[in-house]
Amino acid sequence: MEGLELTRLNPPLATVARLTPRGRGAVATLRLLGSPASLDAGDPALFQATNGQQVIDQPSGRLVFGHFGADSPEEVVICRLDAETLELHCHGGDAAVERIVRELSERGVVTVSPWQSEPQRVDSLETECLAALANALTPRMANLAHSQATGVLRRAVMAALIALPNLVKTGELLRAIWRWREVGRHVTVPWRVAVVGRPNVGKSRLINALLGYDRSIVYDAPGTTRDVLTGETAFDGWPVQLADTAGLREAGSAIEAEGIVRARDYLATADVVLVVVDRSQPATRTDRELVAEFPHAILLANKCDLPEAWVDPLPDDVLSISATTRAGLRRVGEEVVRRLVTEGPGSGDAIPLCERQITCLERAIEAADQGDCDGCRARLWELLGSHRVDGMLPSDL
């Protein structure tokens, strides 16, 4: 009961947008996003259905006739599209629409443009989700962003709010969102995969084969790659940036030395490292040093299409590949994905999609762990982008 009482004290932010053009017309259509509580509240309720049921009890997809407004009610038809989306159809013309919008505004509903799902606020959750959708790098990531933009993330955060003051339950619900933060970060930014090895082991040819086009110059002279060259692709729908780094060895010139420095800088921030060795040649000191330096890297024994000359023992999980014939490259992609995404989110999982959302979640979890109910609530309203509307706090609505 305490959670239900909280919902009445801090109702979810709702918005209304006019979908039909201004001016005269037979019918005008409004779209409401958010809780239907604003229509059910009051005595009498703002909307009274002829079937006697409250809006919140009306099934999705059914046209419901009723009356809107306390004084001189307007005849309207509503249809709930889902739990948080409702369309209201009234007589055309500006007067009827303006009257309905005004009465909704008096109940705390905010008017927005039809292409917005929230008022213009730089920290609006839905605005951020739509931005992530517009900039998603692959269809898989676009699907994840779309589900968040259409209410999955907001509903999950609202469930955590409603669970207050039960901080244990709220913390569990927030951690269920928090666990997908790395996936959310990479909806619009690819994971970084660095390819390293001594010069002339086939790194550039491997990059080109994985990308499907010639991004790097392939030449037999050691030190040909003097900078970090990157190209983007996707493995099983997960976006990655592959980096072709300068061959790591003692530099033969100032230009090559700068390339090695840049390679080291990229390696420091890489999510996965691929160490490439040439199995058609005996192991060198540089090969051994690189294998030892990156013990958690994916080790690739290249040129498996040539007679093997490598005699040093290799770990059991080494992948034998050929950048020339493309043998084993599918396994490379599968192993990269296994390292990056040990488990993928389901279609109904809530995912934070930007650093602001992740930071708000982190602070809300910290507040819950510290027993700070008010602080947790404030952070969640901030996450929703609902901590202020025209200078009002949610508790004022």
Helix (H) or strand (E) holding 222: none
Tell me, what DSSP letter sits at residue 302?
A: E
Among 141-155, 242-256, 272-286, whose mean pLDDT is lowest? 242-256
> Is 301 a residue whose pLDDT tops 90?
yes
Mean of pLDDT values over 313-325: 90
Do 46 and 68 touch, CB atoms closer than 8 A? yes
Residue with tokens 């990531």: 141
What's the pLDDT at 386? Answer: 55
Strand partners, 67: 48, 75
Among 3-12, 88-97, 255-264, 311-320, whose mean pLDDT is lowest? 3-12
Give exposure, 129-164, as e/b (b: 16+ Cβ within 10 Å).
bbbbbeebbbeebbebbebbbbbbbbebbbbbbbbb
User: What is 2-116's CATH topology?
Assistant: Gyrase A; domain 2 (3.30.1360)
d(C-alpha 134, C-alpha 118), whole Å: 16
What's the pLDDT at 236? Answer: 93
Do 105 and 36 touch, CB atoms closer than 8 A? no
Which residue from 332, 195, 215 is spatially nearest to 271, judged by alpha carbons?
195
Task: Tell me how many degrees the CA angle 159-135-117 measures, rounded to the nearest 5.
Answer: 45
pTM over 0.85: no
Do 277 and 291 touch, CB atoms closer than 8 A? yes
> Is 27 a residue whose pLDDT tops 90?
no
> Is 291 a residue whose pLDDT tops 70?
yes
Number of helical (H) and strand (E) elements in the chain, helices listed first: 14, 13
Q: If DSSP codes are grouped into helix, strand and coil, which group holds residue 378?
A: helix
- What are the E-state strand segments in 69-153? 74-82, 85-91, 110-112
Per-residue model confidence as pLDDT tens digits over 222-239: 444 445 688 899 999 999
Query: Where do the structural domains in the chain lie, given as residue ranges?
Result: 2-116, 125-180+345-384, 191-340
What's the pLDDT at 180? Answer: 97
Q: Beta 110-112 vs 74-82: how paired, if at all?
A: unpaired
Residues near 117 by Cβ (< 8 Å), separated by ≥ 6?
15, 33, 126, 127, 130, 149
d(C-alpha 221, C-alpha 114), whole Å: 60
> Is 248 a residue whose pLDDT tops 60?
no
What's the pLDDT at 263? Answer: 67
Which residue from 255, 229, 256, 231 is spatially nearest to 244, judged by alpha carbons?
229
Mean of pLDDT values over 297-320: 91
Which residue from 11, 135, 134 is spatially nearest to 389, judged by alpha carbons?
11
> Is 135 a residue whose pLDDT tops 50?
yes
Do 28 and 89 touch, CB atoms closer than 8 A? yes
Q: Which class is 191-340 in CATH?
A: alpha beta
Per-residue model confidence as pLDDT tens digits over 69-83: 877 788 888 888 888
What's the pLDDT at 113? Answer: 61
To the nearest whole number, what is the mean pLDDT of the chain?
A: 81
> Is 345 a residue whose pLDDT tops 90?
yes
Task: Report the largest interatomic distance among the alpha carbons of the chain, rounded to a whole angstrom.
Answer: 92
Do 178 and 157 touch, CB atoms closer than 8 A? no
